[in-house]
């Protein structure tokens, strides 16, 4: 069965149960339990806000900068959680793959869906903070789910691609953790894009070809303030504007193809 096929009833039940189990196990044994889904990004936000907003004075010219920063942190945490959990999900569920015959991509889908649930919880907090800070609801808020879906497809494609390789070469997980630390500084999470533009307009345009940066800036534009600089405005060439979307589609297709090819040998390699 290919990923393009619609989930039948049996697979829907399996996906639902795996997602529930993943979500419960993630917070099992902790005192605060599910509250960590909210507390973790808020703690990270507090640290970065004190360091970069209060001491280094980042974002002084951006309306609602605390919420602006929180949006970036929440979206970045989602991307990291989605890819990390997706990559190692096949190894974690190796016993299940040996016992039951089912489409193996459901394991990756359940792991990334759990990350999506956490994102939904965090976005509720973001919206509350946005309204408290003075941001007003407008029709552009309705575009946010589409950008989140774009980020999810990118994360899912990477999880499929790297996860299928990680089954045989376990170093992939460690390598990805290092790469993702470097990638963090190529996305305007803690620093405004305007700081990059002031140094080099060309560098800012290249940075906005990254689909993660594009999604973060677009959601900030829709949800927080229209003063947010986006790739749609920064990049003049009409074809280059769509590079981030093409990257997402390309990675998703690559992930599906590699996963379908390697999934036949998972039972032997695990």
**Domain parsing of the chain, residue ranges:** 23-269
pLDDT digits over 69-91, tens only?
889 989 999 999 999 999 998 88
Confidence of residue 200 (pLDDT cuts 50, 70, 90): confident
pLDDT digits over 16-43, tens only?
878 877 766 666 655 555 666 667 777 7
What gap in Å lies between CA 68 and CA 104, rounded to an integer?
A: 38
Q: How far is CA 23 from CA 13, 138, 219, 270, in A?
A: 15, 32, 26, 24
Single pTM value for the model:
0.87
> Using an 8 Å Cβ cutoff, are 83 and 176 in contact?
yes
Q: How far is CA 164 from CA 159, 198, 214, 257, in A?
A: 8, 41, 27, 10
Rounded CA Rg of the chain: 19
Q: What's the pLDDT score for residue 4?
A: 44
Q: What's the pLDDT score for residue 1?
A: 45
DSSP-assigned states of every residue in 212-233: HHHHHHHHHHHHT-TTS--HHH
- Is residue 159 predicted with pLDDT exceeding 90? yes
Q: Which residue has the higher pLDDT, 207 or 51?
A: 207
């Amino acid at each position: 069965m290919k990923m393009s096929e619609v989930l039948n009833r049996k697979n829907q039940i399996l996906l639902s149960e795996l997602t529930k189990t993943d979500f419960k196990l993630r917070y099992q044994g902790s005192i605060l339990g599910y509250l960590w889904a909210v507390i973790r990004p808020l703690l990270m936000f507090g640290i970065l806000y004190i360091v970069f907003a209060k001491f280094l004075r980042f974002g002084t010219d951006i309306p609602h900068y605390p919420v602006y920063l929180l949006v970036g942190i929440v979206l970045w945490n989602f991307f990291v959680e989605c890819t990390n959990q997706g990559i190692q999900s096949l190894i974690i569920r190796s016993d299940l793959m040996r016992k039951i015959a089912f489409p193996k991509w459901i394991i990756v889908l359940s792991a990334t869906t759990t990350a999506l649930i956490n994102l939904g919880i965090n976005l509720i907090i973001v919206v509350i903070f946005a309204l408290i800070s003075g941001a007003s609801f407008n029709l552009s808020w309705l575009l946010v789910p589409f950008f989140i879906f774009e980020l999810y497809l990118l994360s899912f494609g990477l999880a499929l691609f790297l996860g299928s390789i990680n089954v045989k070469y376990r170093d992939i997980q460690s390598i990805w953790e290092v790469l993702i630390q470097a990638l963090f500084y190529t996305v305007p999470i803690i620093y405004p894009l305007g700081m990059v533009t002031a140094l080099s307009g060309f560098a800012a345009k290249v940075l906005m070809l990254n689909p993660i940066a594009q999604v973060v800036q677009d959601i900030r534009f829709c949800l927080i303030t229209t003063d947010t600089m986006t790739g749609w405005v920064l990049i003049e060439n009409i074809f280059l504007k769509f590079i981030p979307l093409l990257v997402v589609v390309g990675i998703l297709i690559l992930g599906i193809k590699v996963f379908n090819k390697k999934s036949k040998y998972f039972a032997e390699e695990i």
